[in-house]
């Protein structure tokens, strides 16, 4: 199996991909701001990701993901979307979702992500089951 990027490398690839999709480019300053890290940290991570073949630095265009980088970023994005779909079904608000997903997404094994996707499918296809779960929580039986 190919080496997987580290947790923080995944964070960077995810954010760079998002910035490129949103704005058409990813600048070091924007990456630093959205990840809440120093620009020097971004520069060294970008250099490392370049050496590992995930991205290139193109004059004028800035950072560009390679096919390999894009593939990893898309996989990270899909995983984020699966978790968001699952959390939305459970009624978790957008801000909490964002924070919690960023906190756990890099630690989940692929089989757990698949399980959560299946569970989301199950609840989407059986809204009455979801409603029973919600009603049970309203009664307080599901609270820790």
- Site of interaction with Fe ion (CB under 5 A): 80
- What phi and psi values does residue 87 have, to the nearest 5 degrees? -65, -35
CB of 75 to Fe ion, least distance (A): 11
CA distance 93 to 59: 40
Q: Residues with Cβ < 8 Å from 7, sequence gap 6 or more?
A: 106, 107
As to burial, measured by CB atoms within 10 angstroms (0-12 exposed, 13-18 middle, 19+ buried), residue 70 is: middle
CB of 84 to Fe ion, least distance (A): 9
Choice between 63 and 80, CB closer to Fe ion: 80
Choice between 114 and 136, CB closer to Fe ion: 114
Tokens of 56: 């290139």
- Taking CA atoms, 113 is separated from 39, 99, 127, in Å, by 32, 17, 21
Q: Which residue is nearest to Fe ion (CB)?
A: 80
CB of 101 to Fe ion, least distance (A): 6
CB of 9 to Fe ion, least distance (A): 13
Choice between 22 and 131, CB closer to Fe ion: 22
CA distance 83 to 112: 11
CB of 118 to Fe ion, least distance (A): 20
Choice between 17 and 80, CB closer to Fe ion: 80
Choice between 50 and 102, CB closer to Fe ion: 102
Tokens of 19: 């910035």
């Amino acid at each position: 199996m190919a080496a997987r990027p580290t947790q923080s490398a995944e964070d960077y690839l995810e954010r760079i991909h998002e910035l490129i999709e949103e704005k058409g480019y990813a600048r070091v300053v924007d990456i630093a701001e959205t990840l809440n890290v120093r620009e020097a940290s971004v520069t060294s991570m970008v250099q490392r990701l370049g050496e590992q073949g995930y991205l290139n630095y193109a004059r004028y265009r800035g950072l560009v993901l390679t096919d390999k980088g894009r593939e990893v970023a898309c996989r990270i994005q899909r995983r984020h979307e699966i978790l968001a779909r699952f959390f939305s079904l459970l009624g978790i608000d957008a801000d909490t979702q964002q924070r919690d997903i960023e906190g756990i997404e890099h630690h989940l094994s692929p089989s757990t992500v698949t399980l959560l996707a299946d569970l989301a499918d199950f609840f989407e296809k059986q809204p009455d089951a979801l409603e029973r779960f919600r009603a049970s929580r309203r009664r307080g039986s599901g609270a820790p």
